Amino acid sequence: MSHATQDNSSNRWQGGVLPFKVNYGKLMMWFFLISDALTFTAFLVAYGFQRYYHEGVWPKAENVFTHFPFLHGDHPLLYVALMTLVLILSSVTMVLAVESGHRNYRKGVKKWLFLTIIGGLIFLGSQAWEWSHFIHGTHEGALKLGKGTYTMPDGSVKTTQGNIAQWGNEAKTEILMPFKVDGKPVSVKGAEAQKIIANGTPIHGANLKENEYGPTLFGNFFFFITGFHGTHVLSGVILNLIVFIMVSRGVFDKKGNYEMVEKVGLYWHFVDLVWVFVFTFFYLI
């Protein structure tokens, strides 16, 4: 590194000075993370905008994601809390791997990095399970309303086109319309309900074009935000795996420092950080 050894104020413009006191790779990782953080911020803010806009008919995530493996009934939040725990734990093992790296302790780095990879894989599996449940939907499903004009029980006339109504009873003779009066969905029974059902389509589950829980955008945002985060987790697992192989082959012992572990560690913690926000804004609020 001869270019760096001869430095004085007159030739600083030629490089070789590290004003932030971190190496190039780590600084660039921080730059990348800032831009990536802004991308996720944009997604979540856009989600907030649409949610605010569709206030009233927007489904609450705790009514959508209520399943837990091997348990029957509704368990809101439990499954996603488990996913959060897995990701926080994998963040701890990652930071312990970084700490071992700072002591040039190869065995420690290997052990903790391995556990981090396992944590990441468990998280990805959990996400696949949740997606599968969301896509298949509930046993009852919902009614996608056709194009039409109907008289509500209170005498008002409403126009529908593609919005989602929920079933009011098991026999599917009562409909809860996607309009609210005093905070409660308008219920329609009898002949008018038969008319609405005949003109609508029963749907189950969710895809990018429709979902039984409410506005199409809810499904789109769910797939897009958790999908984009899941892609980050997947790339994190792959990066960790590459670094794990390099550690095993003693690459960083030859190099003299384990900074690469720190760099992938930064990325991994960022993935955890994003999940903290997704958890709050998608599932809790």
Partner 1 sequence: MNDMHNPNDYATTHSEEAGVQIRKTIWKVFWILLGVTSIEVALGIFYQDWGINFSIVKTTFIVLTLVKAYFIVAEYMHLKHENSYLKKLVVIPYAFLAIYLLLLLLTEGGYSERMINFMF
Cβ at position 257, least distance to partner 1 in Å: 4
Question: Which CB atom, from 175 or from 274, has the smaller least distance to partner 1?
Answer: 274
Asked whether position 102 contacts partner 1 by CB under 8 A, the answer is: yes
Q: Does 122 bind partner 1 (CB under 8 A)?
A: no
Least distance between partner 1 and beta carbon 39 (Å): 11
Among positions 17-76, residues that touch partner 1 (CB under 8 A) are: 17-24, 27, 30, 33-34, 37-38, 41-42, 45-46, 48-53, 55, 62, 76
Backbone phi, then psi, for 22, in 5-degree steps?
-135, 155
Residue 104 as a binder of partner 1 (CB under 8 A): the answer is yes
Least CB distance from residue 271 to partner 1, whole Å?
10
For 256-267, the three-class secondary structure string (H helix, E strand, C coil) is: CCCHHHHHHHHH
Total binding residues toward partner 1, as defined by CB under 8 A: 67
Joined tokens for residue 105: 């302790």
Q: Which of 99, 130, 174, 210 binds partner 1 (CB under 8 A)?
A: 99
Looking from the CA of 148 toward its CB, the CA atoms found within 13 Å total 15
Q: Is 283 in the site for partner 1 (CB under 8 A)?
A: yes
Q: Which stretch binds partner 1 (CB under 8 A): 14-22, 131-139, 160-168, 186-194?
A: 14-22
Q: Is 276 in the site for partner 1 (CB under 8 A)?
A: yes
Please report whether residue 246 would count as binding partner 1 according to CB under 8 A.
no
Q: Cα separation of 161 and 25, whole Å?
A: 53
Q: How far is CA 126 from CA 86, 101, 118, 278, in A?
A: 10, 30, 12, 15
Q: What are phi and psi of 69, to 5 degrees?
A: -55, 140
Place of tokens 């059902």: 197
**Measuring CA to CA, which residue among 57, 248, 252 is closest to residue 162?**
57
Residue 94: count of CB within 10 angstroms of its CB: 29
Q: What is the DSSP letter of 8?
A: -
Q: Please, which contacts does 116-119 make with residues 24 or more away whose CB atoms are closer than 8 Å?
A: 116/90, 116/240, 116/268, 117/237, 117/240, 117/241, 117/244, 118/90, 119/86, 119/87, 119/89, 119/90, 119/93
- The residue among 92 and 121 lying less far from partner 1, judged by its C-beta, is 92
Is position 5 an interface residue for partner 1 (rule: CB under 8 A)?
Answer: yes
Stretch that binds partner 1, among 6-14, 166-174, 181-189, 241-249 (CB under 8 A): 6-14
**Residues of the shown chain interacting with partner 1 in the complex, contacts defined by CB under 8 A:** 1, 4-8, 16-24, 27, 30, 33-34, 37-38, 41-42, 45-46, 48-53, 55, 62, 76-78, 81, 84-85, 88-89, 91-92, 94-96, 99, 102-104, 256-259, 262, 266, 269-270, 272-273, 276-277, 279-280, 283-285
